[in-house]
A and B are shown apart, each in its own frame.
Chain A
Amino acid sequence: MSTSETQALLLKVLEEIIPAGGARRMPSAGMKAVADGVLTATAYSNGSPGAVTRLLEAISMKSPDFPILSPDARVDVLKVIEADHPADFTELVRLTYTAYYSRPEIRPLLGVAAHPVHPDGYLVEPESDALMDELTRPVRARGTAYRQV
């Protein structure tokens, strides 16, 4: 496969690994930046080097028209590929999650800061003394909770 064919096929595969949608209107993983991330990472993957290339070849052999299939049909093909190549498929899933969730535009959709968390971090208000007192009162009321030796 040429590089552009590989890219195009990978984008369609990624669309099904993490599909778009949901209440948070999440985009699918089928975006160029994620595909680039997956391809870069696969080169030095700890798990199974070359997994993505092998899988893409297997998919194009099994289903040459994969990119134009319906989403349901694509998922069916991927399930067969997963059963035939479990280790490589797990590696593709790992790399997809890694590349997708490290995108600065994705993290905030799930409530996490887009950019490095230090030095700013998050503001979490300390509990007031009154609240802590109220919460711990029942525990204190029960008295000693360790074995005396």
Chain B
Amino acid sequence: MTNHPVDVLIIGAGASGAAIAWSLLETRMRILCLEQGDHLQDKDFPSRREDYELARYGAFSCDPNVRKLKQDYPINSQDSCITPVNWNGVGGSTINFLGHWPRMKPSDFRTRTLDGVAEDWPVDYATLEPFYNLNDENTGVSGLSGNPGYPDYSPPLPPIPIGHLGQTLARGFNKLGWHWWPSDVAILSKDRDGRQKCVNAGTCDLGCAAGAKGGTNFTYWPILENAGVELRTNSRVREIVVDQETGFATGVLYHDADGKLLEQKAELVVVACNGVGTPRLLLNSKSKLFPEGVANRSGLVGKNLMFHPLTGVAGVFDEPMRGHEGPMACSILSQEFYETDPSRDFVRGYGLHSGRSTTPMTFALGGYGIDNPIPWGAKHREIMDNVYPYMAGLTVVSEDLPEETNCVSLDPDLTDSDGIPAPKITYRLGDNTRKMLRHGEAKAGELLLAAGAKQVLSKGDDSVWWRAGWHQMGTCRMGDDPNRSVVNAWGRCHDVKNLFIVDGSIFVTAGAVNPTSTIQALALYIGDRIKTNIATLFD
């Protein structure tokens, strides 16, 4: 069965799919978004339920291999030390993301020129800056202006409280003379546009029932659906179809909720399935013209997968830190060790993020994203009584350099419920990252002691958090050279001129910050380029 053709077909209703749809709204083109998941209904937010924490280990786990919901696809991560996590549904992974909203820095776009590693981006910070600002307005970002860590900009809303925990750590940073700043967050510090301000419930990973968190289910999608963008849910795209004569994409084949295979034709196809879902879809779209997957003449689709490997260090203080009060991830952020310093044994750098703590259950089970319960018996009593309430932690979030061997490929056996081959992750930590994490662990310990911790708890080994595959980047990277990149400087596939990619897979490098503000700024930028170049779009 064939549906009516549309002008623009967007695949994926997450962070980037929503942003580009918003950008293209003013063109009055007919826009359709196909999303494999559904809307999350108000009654389904776990934080309204008595057993809200249990949801974190079942149907609301961030790990699709644990959740196993109908809309999820399995991911084989056996050859990786980090497993990708996500949400599949309207809002994409912004449903369970934590709303931490730092921008990339100017140097992140120039790592080849400055440090001789990876590649330079074909865009720079200055080009993206207006789109960062626009997206911050649309999302409702809270933060404090005047951060000396960035070219000047002002978040639209005042910062959320950094709390006792943030203040304690801030004083430690000041003692050492290190940079820190209240985190920018995609979380409302004031009521705005019918959304409630943050109530500090600390359950951001369980969706934000208050609507304070800037998931696109609360920000862009209500506007888009009101404006007539069609959002067709429970629609899983199987394959991008390419005319074998012209080399243009003609649309897609997708499965509806009953598994029926349908065709959707479109003039322009935009892929927004994230750093794992996008290469998976492209690799699954094989034809005579593209035997290795659509738009993959460079052979780079799926290659150069980057995460932000992390490790955590905790300090135990004399007074309760009340870390469960407030958004999970965001209090303050130090970028003292962000930029390359030739005196260190690694290039590039990392951020020290002050997470807040979690609820007792999650702490006892090893912490968020970790499956390693704390000891039982007398030791358990000791930890829960004398450590948990007094704890403040720092997360070392490191830049990951691209390596072709770190990749997303297709698993030969594993499939989703529609029989579509599932992705397989092959990933190992680079030496540079390892050194960075070790350095970060030591510096985090130094800081916690300076802030007054009486004890520092760190693992002191090379293991990273297993479920830290929150940020998935690099698997269809941008570039000017079609042999060294998959898309051009404005997201258009080198090999298929009416096929665009707008999600984190087009990142050239990863920076050492959470990626979503950059993902959306890029999507808005690409939308802007499409509008500007509309007359010659497919030349």
- Within 8 Å by CB of B201, from A121, A138, A142, A145, lies A121
The contact string, 1 if C-beta is below 8 Å from chain B, for chain A 88-101, is 00100110111001
The contact string, 1 if C-beta is below 8 Å from chain A, for chain B 355-375, is 000011100110000000100
Whether A126 and B377, one on each chain, are in contact in the complex, defined by CB atoms closer than 8 angstroms, is no
Question: Whole-angstrom distance from the CB of A75 to the nearest CB of chain B?
Answer: 6
Asked if A117 CB lies within 8 Å of chain B CBs, one says yes
Whether B148 and A94, one on each chain, are in contact in the complex, defined by CB atoms closer than 8 angstroms, is no
Residues of A within 8 A of B340 (CB): 147
- A residues 23-48 near B (Cβ < 8 Å) are 23-24, 26, 46
Residues of A within 8 A of B382 (CB): 22
Asked if A130 CB lies within 8 Å of chain B CBs, one says no
Whether A146 and B105, one on each chain, are in contact in the complex, defined by CB atoms closer than 8 angstroms, is yes
Whether B158 and A135, one on each chain, are in contact in the complex, defined by CB atoms closer than 8 angstroms, is no
Given contacts A22-B381, A122-B326, contact A149 B174 (CB under 8 A): no
Whether B114 and A98, one on each chain, are in contact in the complex, defined by CB atoms closer than 8 angstroms, is no
Asked if B423 CB lies within 8 Å of chain A CBs, one says no
Whether B325 and A124, one on each chain, are in contact in the complex, defined by CB atoms closer than 8 angstroms, is yes
Question: Whole-angstrom distance from the CB of B338 to the nearest CB of chain A?
Answer: 8
Asked if A2 CB lies within 8 Å of chain B CBs, one says no
Interface of A is mostly: loop
Question: Whole-angstrom distance from the CB of B470 to the nearest CB of chain A?
Answer: 20
Asked if B51 CB lies within 8 Å of chain A CBs, one says yes
- A residues 99-149 near B (Cβ < 8 Å) are 101-102, 104, 106-107, 110-112, 115-127, 131-132, 135-136, 138-140, 142-149
- Within 8 Å by CB of A126, from B45, B113, B158, lies B158
In angstroms, Cα B179 to Cα A78, docked, is: 48
Whether B210 and A118, one on each chain, are in contact in the complex, defined by CB atoms closer than 8 angstroms, is yes
Whether A97 and B324, one on each chain, are in contact in the complex, defined by CB atoms closer than 8 angstroms, is no
Residues of B within 8 A of A117 (CB): 47, 52, 201-203
- Within 8 Å by CB of B376, from A93, A101, A135, A147, lies A93
In angstroms, Cα B167 to Cα A119, docked, is: 26
The contact string, 1 if C-beta is below 8 Å from chain A, for chain B 473-512, is 0000000000000000000000000000000000000000
- Within 8 Å by CB of A140, from B114, B148, B210, B339, lies B148
A123 to chain B: closest residue by CB: B200
Whether A97 and B361, one on each chain, are in contact in the complex, defined by CB atoms closer than 8 angstroms, is yes
Residues of B within 8 A of A21 (CB): 381
Whether A101 and B53, one on each chain, are in contact in the complex, defined by CB atoms closer than 8 angstroms, is yes
Question: Whole-angstrom distance from the CB of A2 to the nearest CB of chain B?
Answer: 26
Whether B380 and A18, one on each chain, are in contact in the complex, defined by CB atoms closer than 8 angstroms, is yes
B163 to chain A: closest residue by CB: A124
- B residues 191-238 near A (Cβ < 8 Å) are 196, 198-203, 209-210
Residues of B within 8 A of A110 (CB): 360, 384, 388-389
Whether A126 and B54, one on each chain, are in contact in the complex, defined by CB atoms closer than 8 angstroms, is no
Residues of A within 8 A of B324 (CB): 111-112, 122
In angstroms, Cα B78 to Cα A36, docked, is: 34
Whether B209 and A119, one on each chain, are in contact in the complex, defined by CB atoms closer than 8 angstroms, is yes
Whether B163 and A149, one on each chain, are in contact in the complex, defined by CB atoms closer than 8 angstroms, is no
Residues of B within 8 A of A140 (CB): 146, 148
Residues of B within 8 A of A112 (CB): 324, 359-360
Residues of A within 8 A of B376 (CB): 16-18, 93, 96
Asked if A49 CB lies within 8 Å of chain B CBs, one says no
Given contacts A124-B161, A138-B177, contact A147 B360 (CB under 8 A): no
Question: Whole-angstrom distance from the CB of B372 to the nearest CB of chain A?
Answer: 9
Interface of B is mostly: loop
Whether A149 and B110, one on each chain, are in contact in the complex, defined by CB atoms closer than 8 angstroms, is yes
Residues of B within 8 A of A126 (CB): 158-161, 189
Whether B114 and A132, one on each chain, are in contact in the complex, defined by CB atoms closer than 8 angstroms, is no
In angstroms, Cα B66 to Cα A93, docked, is: 19
Residues of B within 8 A of A127 (CB): 159, 161-162, 167
Asked if A19 CB lies within 8 Å of chain B CBs, one says yes
Residues of B within 8 A of A106 (CB): 360
Residues of A within 8 A of B161 (CB): 124-127
Given contacts A136-B146, A149-B107, contact A120 B199 (CB under 8 A): yes
Whether B322 and A111, one on each chain, are in contact in the complex, defined by CB atoms closer than 8 angstroms, is yes
In angstroms, Cα B325 to Cα A110, docked, is: 12
Residues of B within 8 A of A136 (CB): 144, 146, 181-182
- Within 8 Å by CB of B381, from A26, A90, A119, A132, lies A26
Whether A147 and B114, one on each chain, are in contact in the complex, defined by CB atoms closer than 8 angstroms, is yes
Residues of A within 8 A of B326 (CB): 122, 124
- Within 8 Å by CB of B179, from A22, A115, A139, lies A139
In angstroms, Cα B18 to Cα A27, docked, is: 49
Residues of B within 8 A of A121 (CB): 198-202, 210
Whether B365 and A94, one on each chain, are in contact in the complex, defined by CB atoms closer than 8 angstroms, is yes
Whether A19 and B377, one on each chain, are in contact in the complex, defined by CB atoms closer than 8 angstroms, is yes
B120 to chain A: closest residue by CB: A149
Asked if B70 CB lies within 8 Å of chain A CBs, one says no
Asked if B259 CB lies within 8 Å of chain A CBs, one says no
- B residues 156-183 near A (Cβ < 8 Å) are 158-163, 167, 170-171, 173-174, 177, 179-182
27 A–B contact pairs at CB < 8 A? A23-B385, A26-B384, A101-B360, A110-B388, A111-B389, A112-B360, A116-B47, A118-B47, A119-B48, A121-B201, A123-B200, A124-B163, A127-B167, A135-B171, A135-B174, A136-B144, A136-B146, A136-B181, A138-B177, A139-B148, A142-B148, A142-B177, A142-B179, A146-B106, A147-B106, A147-B107, A147-B114
* B contacts, CB < 8 Å to A: 45, 47-54, 57-58, 66, 105-107, 109-110, 113-114, 124-125, 144, 146, 148-151, 158-163, 167, 170-171, 173-174, 177, 179-182, 189, 196, 198-203, 209-210, 320, 322, 324-326, 335-336, 338-340, 359-361, 364-365, 373, 376-378, 380-382, 384-385, 388-389
The 10 A-B pairs of least Cβ separation, nearest first, read A121-B199, A101-B361, A117-B201, A121-B201, A22-B385, A118-B209, A122-B325, A97-B364, A147-B107, A118-B47
> 9 new A-B pairs (CB below 8 Å) besides A101-B360, A102-B53, A112-B324?
A19-B380, A101-B53, A110-B384, A122-B201, A126-B158, A127-B161, A147-B340, A149-B106, A149-B114
